[in-house]
């Protein structure tokens, strides 16, 4: 056999295996995006975001409203427990507590909310503060002042008073406490004449509703006109006119 035979055979094998590798490799595929394709994707993402963000905002608002309602319910039950321990009497607010030598309701019921009369101000950042209230360290809720009025005050129904739960004719429909837009810890509906006077009740925190607790201890979300609308004769704040 000549020396050229092995060389020729090796050359043939090399040629064939190289052809196989080229066939397997196949044509090159370009996986990159063009500028137009990228712009289309960005536009689609922007459209989806504009559709989803309002829905997410509403969901967060609903969650805050539910949390607020739960806090109002806690406060209402704490007030009821206070009355059970104090001869059926309701606590007082800043309106009259100091004159009578008593603690304001926020401090008086603190023990029923896991705090104490010494640490009650911590509740201004917790259960006493609505998560939708952008103000800091102020009352988000106010006590209905009708329960601490006396014969010397000006109100419909005087000289009758409603210091005790048992004196309130319809506890399940009489507002005890509601969300509050003022810096005080109470609301004075005895001075309201028209619906425009009820500026202390915020009606924009929870989609035109506010959260209320009633004397019997339950809580519910209501529109202002469901609790006070003199044109329709509705007044759930005054114990003698509550429906």
What pLDDT, in 10s, does the model give residues 217-228? 999 999 999 999
Lowest mean pLDDT among 29-33, 78-82, 169-173: 29-33
- Tell me the pairing of strands 234-235 and 228-229: antiparallel
Which one is predicted more confidently, 46 or 26?
46
Is the alpha carbon torsion for 193, 194, 197, 201 positive or negative? positive
8 Å CB contact between 142 and 213: no
pLDDT of residue 1: 47
Q: Do residues 242 and 170 make contact, with C-beta atoms less than 8 angstroms apart? A: yes
**Confidence (pLDDT) at 57:** 59
Structure tokens at 181: 């837009």
Quick one: CA dihedral 145, 146, 150, 155, positive or negative? Answer: positive
3-state secondary structure the chain: CCCHHHHHHHHHHHHHHHHHHHHHHCCCCCCCCCHHHHHHHHHHHHHHHHHHHHHHHHHHHHHHHHHHHHHHHHHHHHHHHHHHHCCCECCECCCCCCCCCCCEHHHHCHHHHCCCCCCHHHHHHCCCCCCCCCCCCCCCEEEEHHHHCCCCCCCCCCCCCCCEHHHCCCCCCCEEEEECCCCCCEECHHHCCCHHHCCCCCCCCCCCCEEEEECCCCEEEECHHHHEEHHHCEECCCCCCCC
- Per residue in 161-191, pLDDT tens? 999 999 999 999 999 999 999 999 999 999 9
For residue 148, give Cα distances in angstroms to 12, 76, 161, 162: 110, 16, 8, 7
Give mean pLDDT, residues 56-70. Answer: 80
- Give the model's pLDDT for residue 22: 45
Q: Residue 150 has which token pair?
A: 């006396």
Tokens found for residue 70? 């739960």
Q: What are the residue ranges spanned by the domains of the chain?
A: 58-235
Cα torsion 29, 32, 36, 39: sign:
positive
Among 137, 222, 218, CA closest to 179: 222
């Amino acid at each position: 056999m000549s020396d050229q035979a092995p060389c020729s055979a090796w050359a043939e094998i090399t040629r064939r295996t190289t052809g196989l590798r080229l066939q397997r490799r196949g044509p090159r595929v370009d996986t990159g995006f063009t500028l137009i394709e990228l712009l289309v994707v960005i536009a689609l993402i922007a459209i989806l975001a504009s559709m989803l963000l309002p829905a997410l905002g509403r969901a967060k608002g609903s969650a805050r409203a539910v949390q607020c309602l739960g806090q109002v319910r806690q406060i209402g039950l704490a007030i009821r427990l206070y009355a059970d321990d104090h001869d059926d009497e309701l606590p007082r607010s800043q309106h009259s507590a100091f004159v009578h030598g008593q603690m304001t309701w926020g401090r008086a019921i603190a023990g029923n909310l896991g705090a104490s009369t010494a640490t009650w101000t911590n509740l201004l950042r917790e259960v006493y503060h609505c998560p939708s209230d952008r103000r800091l360290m102020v009352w988000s809720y106010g006590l209905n002042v009708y329960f601490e009025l006396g014969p010397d005050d000006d109100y419909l129904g005087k000289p009758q008073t409603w210091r005790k739960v048992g004196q309130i004719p319809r506890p399940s429909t009489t507002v005890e406490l509601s969300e509050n837009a003022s810096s005080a810890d109470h609301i004075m509906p005895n001075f309201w004449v028209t619906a425009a006077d009820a500026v202390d009740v915020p009606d924009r925190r929870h989609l035109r509703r506010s959260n209320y607790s009633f004397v019997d201890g339950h809580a519910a979300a209501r529109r202002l006109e469901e609790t006070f609308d003199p044109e329709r004769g509705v007044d759930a704040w005054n114990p003698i006119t509550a429906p």
